[in-house]
Structure 1
Amino acid sequence: MSLQSCINIMKELDIVGARQLGRDMTKEIGFGIVDQARVTTAISELARNIYLYADQGRICCEAIENMGKCGIKLTAVDQGPGIEDIGKVMQDGYSTSGGLGAGLPGVKRLMDEFDLVSERGKGTSITAIKWLR
């Protein structure tokens, strides 16, 4: 199973498109409604971060399989300013935009696997996976 779709995030409306893409793909893979909502929320947070902090980037959703397990892999990539202090942004309650600060720590909790790589001046890449139970 190798199904992948990407959406460019350049305007606020693209966040809605990314959410829909994730919802459609989780349904197709066979996720229940609760996990569909978890993945969709994670996509929303990742896409909003791209929109707010990097101006533009892309979100990719990919159906994956590993040792008989199926899942969805989200990849959020941008060429924005990068994250100055990853430790700080991964703390609950930390926000630079005046939001709730649930963003990236929330995404990490919603998904089963989470990986963040960021380089100042070059951008950020986040990969998150949710496995079908």
Structure 2
Amino acid sequence: MNVLQSGSLPVRVEQDVVLARQFVRKLASEHGMRLVDLTKLVTAVSELARNTVVYGGGGDMDWSVLDRMGRVGLSMLFRDEGPGIADTRLALTDGWTSGSGMGLGLTGARRLVDEFELDTAPGQGTRITITRWI
């Protein structure tokens, strides 16, 4: 797998959530992602960026345009140094919510993308990587 482009955006305040969503929408559109897939990716980005701000105390979204044997994908890594997720099993349970977000939670975001990876531990922050292939 090759990285064609990459960068990072701060996700520290609510306005950064809007900017991350707009950036990913533009990036996906530029790479020819279909509207339905683009909408799913942007929705997942919105949820995870908001979680980064609200629960992680702010962090960053690292983004990459990937090439896997001629197939293009968009990958986002949300990382924070917040309290981490104490019970990942519970956090990945359908219908569970810890607050007043969009109601998607991690399970909803996971369903909207092709690949989802969660790395977290109490006191060690959270890293969530999502990828959607075009």
- Normalising by the smaller structure, the TM-score range is over 0.9
- Match in the other structure for 2:12: 10
For 1:75-114, what aligned pairs fall within 5 Å after superposition? 75-99=77-101, 101-114=103-116
For 1:18-29, what aligned pairs fall within 5 Å after superposition? 18-29=20-31
TM-score by length of 2: 0.93
**Alignment partners' CA distance in 2, 1:22 and 1:61:** 9
Q: Give the deviation of 1:100 after TM superposition.
A: 5.7
Q: Give the deviation of 1:30 after TM superposition.
A: 1.1
Inter-CA distance 56–114: structure 2 relative to 1 (3 Å threshold): same
RMSD of aligned alpha carbons: 1.3
Q: Which residue, out of 27, 30, 40, partners 2:32?
A: 30
Q: Give the deviation of 1:101 after TM superposition.
A: 4.0
Runs of 4+ off more than 4 Å: none
**Alignment partners' CA distance in 1, 2:43 and 2:121:** 25
5+ unaligned residues in a row in structure 1: which ranges? none
- Match in the other structure for 1:116: 118
Measured against aligned partners, the alpha-carbon deviations of 1:7-26 in whole angstroms (never above 9, x if no partner) come to 11111110000001101110
Q: Give the deviation of 1:61 after TM superposition.
A: 2.0
56-65 or 92-101: bigger deviation:
92-101
Is the contact made by 1:78 and 1:124 (CA closer than 8 Å) also made in structure 2? yes
Counterpart of 1:93, as a letter, is G
Q: Which residue, out of 30, 55, 58, partners 1:56?
A: 58
**Alignment partners' CA distance in 2, 1:128 and 1:99:** 19
Q: Across the two proteins, how many residue pairs are aligned to each other?
A: 132
5+ unaligned residues in a row in structure 2: which ranges? none
Is the contact made by 2:5 and 2:65 (CA closer than 8 Å) also made in structure 1? yes
Q: Give the deviation of 1:105 after TM superposition.
A: 0.5
